[in-house]
Structure 1
Amino acid sequence: MTIEERKSYFVELGKFLSLFGDKTNNSVKITPRNERFFNELNDKIEQSIHYNGWFTRENVIFSLQQWSKTLTTSNLDTWLKPYEFNQDEQKTVAIVMAGNIPLVGFHDFLSVLISGHKVLVKQSSNDKQLLPVIAGFLMEIAPEFENRIKFTEDRLSDFDAVIATGSNNTARYFEYYFKGKPSIIRKNRNSVAILTGKESKEELEALGEDIFRYFGLGCRNVSKLYVPKEYDFDNFFKAIYPWNTLLNSAKYANNYDYNKAVYLMSEFKLLENGFLILKKDESFGSPIATLFYEEYEDEKNLQEKLQQNKENLQCVVGREAEVDFGQTQQPKLWDYADGVDTLKFLEEL
């Protein structure tokens, strides 16, 4: 299977996933195969929602739509251009996936297969319904994938390299357990946004997407704001108000009530709008329904501080920052988690 063939199969997958988007502008043919896999994946979406209370149909569909938009010939060509993969050197790469947001491990899955290697997938119990259907679609359109894709719930064995994502605690276990293998071990990271007070209504609305998509559970979700001294949060609160529907989720509402009660009992000074708590805090990782903020006086000093903490940060959002408002959960293929070039790692195996 050549790399051009592999690219074409993932482009076809992207077209299939577009069936979960806007039907009015969709030119993809509803073939019997597409209809069968659409129905199967649709059923698994419902199962995933029942199994994981943090998954909603809206968020799962959002993830599928993002991958549909990403898996194009142009994007894949741009992404793969710098690399040369050995077509004859197939390795088995184990992937230990997280389960905090829908299909969070798909980029690693794609990277291993597109580079010509075999993948051994150990899914999180929180997100195990969706990817097997997508893998099944790939194996149907390209039977060569059948001996390149394997899922396991057992202890990992018979692999040449590993990509593992988890918390800071599990990372220590991963580093010990996989110490004899080439590896990428990912730990906790958070994302922050820098506000100047000059942001437009549209930019602040887009920031709401960065904060609240997937209930803020992704490492690319903004969990902290940096604001100028005496910053007026009124425009920010107005811009994010449409996200008040998050309270329809019992899990989100319970977290909001619990965190608010804890903070009030501790007599912390808070700002809140009925569905989001703003707490002044130097930490990066805020609890669900809470957003930390910190004031700054000098932007140069702030940039130096962020640079010193780059190992803890996934995204920095802002007008002059690396990620535009509203784009944290719409990464490009070359926006690697933790800044570690996955394809370079796979190329060198």
Structure 2
Amino acid sequence: MQLKQRINAFVELGAFLKQIASENPTSEAKEIFQRAEAENGWFTQENIKFALKSWGDALSEENLEQWIANYEIKATNPRCVAIIMAGNVPLVGFHDFLSVLVTGNKVQAKLSSNDKTLLPFLGKHLISVAPEFKEYIAFTEGRLQNFDAVIATGSNNTARYFEFYFGKYPHIIRKNRNSVAVLTGDETQKELNALADDIFRYFGLGCRNVSKIYIPENYDFEAFFKAMFSWKEIIHNHKYINNYDYNKAVYLMDSFPLLDNEFMLLKEDSGFSSPISVVFYEKYDSMEHLKKELQTQSENIQCIVSNSGLPNEIPFGKAQAPALWDYADGVDTVDFLLKLP
């Protein structure tokens, strides 16, 4: 397949994703959504459709052409790239899947038990659009075999396992990261409303979800909590409320001071990886000191949501809408793939 053919196939896939994420998905899509939610209670219909629409919007011809224009992609002997998928949010490994195929390589995807339905469904449609992809796409829940490179995403613990088993291959191995927001107290209500989406979308399970906020001394939380209220219905998800009740009980038993609006907890903490239903906060005394702190902690941070003029910050509400050229952990996947021996 020529590069243009591959791009056209993904443009068609993008249109399909927007169609099935609409109010009237096909009967097959409805069945897939229901199966995905049955397999993973965090994959609500709303979150599945949000993920599909986000990718549908990203896969425009303009976006794909702009992304690929940064590289020289030549017709070469395709390499088989094993992708070990995470399963924390719907289609979390799709960008790796896309990157491997658009560069002319083959995918051997080891699916997460938490997300084993959605990507094969998309792969099936992609093959129907461009049958040449049939020889380039393979899914497995078992052992990976006969591959040339590895892209793996997991926790800090699984990263050690990945390093041990796959270290001899060309690889990208991703570890735990979380996203933060920096507030000054001058944010508009619209910006804070958008921040609520960055916090609560996917129940906060993604590495791009804001799990911690930095606030100035004497910060007034009134406008913040007002904005969070738009997500109050999240407490009706049984998995979420179980986490909220559990974390609240544990913190109260340990006498930790909490701010609580009855569906989320704010805890002062220097960490980054807050539990589900909890957002950590930390106070800063000057923006200059905070810039240095964020730089020091860069390996723990996926993205910074703010309007403070910080390096590489993204606007409020955009944490879950990365562009194709916004690479996880700042590692250029396409560049890695193009340099495979």
TM-score bracket relative to the smaller structure? over 0.9
- The correspondence of residues 149-188 of structure 1 with structure 2, limited to 5 A, is 149-188=137-176
| Residue aligning to 1:348 | 339
- 1:44 offset after TM fit, Å? 1.1
Q: Equivalent pairs: percent with the same residue?
A: 55
Aligned to 2:297: 309
Query: Is 1:334 aligned to residue 322 of structure 2?
Result: no
Instruction: Name 1:6's counterpart in structure 2.
Output: 6
Q: Does 1:204 align with 2:195?
A: no
Structure 1 equivalent of residue 126 of structure 2: 138
- Tell me how far 1:110 sits from its aligned partner: 0.4
Alignment correspondent of 1:245: 233
Q: Which runs of 4+ in 1 moved over 3 A?
A: 21-24
Is 1:228 the counterpart of 2:248 in the alignment? Answer: no
Contact 1:92 1:119 in 2 (8 A): yes
Q: Does 1:323 align with 2:314?
A: yes
Q: Equivalent residue for 2:30?
A: 42
**Structure 2 Cα separation of the partners of residues 132 and 39 of structure 1:** 17
- 1:48 positional shift: 0.8
Q: CA, structure 1 residues 23+125, in 2 after alignment: closer, same or farther (shift >3 Å)?
A: closer
SS at match of 1:227: strand
CA distance in 2, matches of 1:235, 1:23: 33
Say if 1:125 and 1:21 are closer, same or farther in 2 by CA, change over 3 A: closer
Contact kept, 8 Å, 1:18 with 1:68, in 2: the verdict is yes
Spell out, residue by residue over 1:311-344, the C-alpha distance to the aligned partner (whole angstroms, 9 max, x if none).
1100111002411100000000000000000000
User: What is the TM-score when the length of structure 2 is the normalising length?
Assistant: 0.97
- Displacement of 1:20 in angstroms is 2.7
* Inter-partner Cα distance in structure 2 for 1:332 and 1:259: 34
Q: SS at the partner of 1:103?
A: coil
1:88 offset after TM fit, Å?
2.2
The residue type paired with residue 83 of structure 2 is I
Q: CA RMSD in A?
A: 1.1
Partner SS for 2:56: helix
Instruction: Pick one of 91, 94, 116 that aligns with 2:104.
Output: 116
Conserved 8 A contact 1:94-1:120: yes
1:293 aligns to 2:281 (yes or no)? yes
Residue 22 of structure 1 deviates from its aligned partner by 4.4
Provide the TM-score with structure 1 as the length reference.
0.95
Residue 271 of structure 1: which of 248, 252, 259 is its match? 259
Is 2:248 the partner of 1:260?
yes
Kindly indicate whether the alpha-carbon contact (under 8 Å) linking 2:9 and 2:130 is maintained by their aligned counterparts in 1. yes
1:335 and 1:230 mapped to 2: Cα distance?
Answer: 34
CA distance in 1, matches of 2:211, 2:233: 19
User: How many Å separate the matches in 1 of 2:139 and 2:176?
Assistant: 25
| Conserved 8 A contact 1:276-1:291 | yes
* Number of the residue aligned with 1:15: 15
Alpha-carbon distance between aligned partners in 2 of 1:10 and 1:42, rounded to the nearest angstrom: 21
Shift of residue 39, structure 1, vs aligned partner: 2.8
| Distance change >3 Å, CA 8–CA 103, structure 1 → 2 | same
Distance in 2 between residues matched to 1:21 and 1:104, nearest whole Å = 16
1:40–1:133: 8 Å Cα contact kept in structure 2? no
How many residues were matched structurally?
337
Of 59, 62, 86, which aligns to 1:71?
Answer: 59
- Equivalent pair of 1:246/1:252 in contact (CA under 8 Å): yes
Aligned to 2:88: 100
Decide whether the 8 Å contact of 1:228 with 1:295 is kept in 2. Answer: yes
Deviation at 1:104, TM superposition (A): 0.3
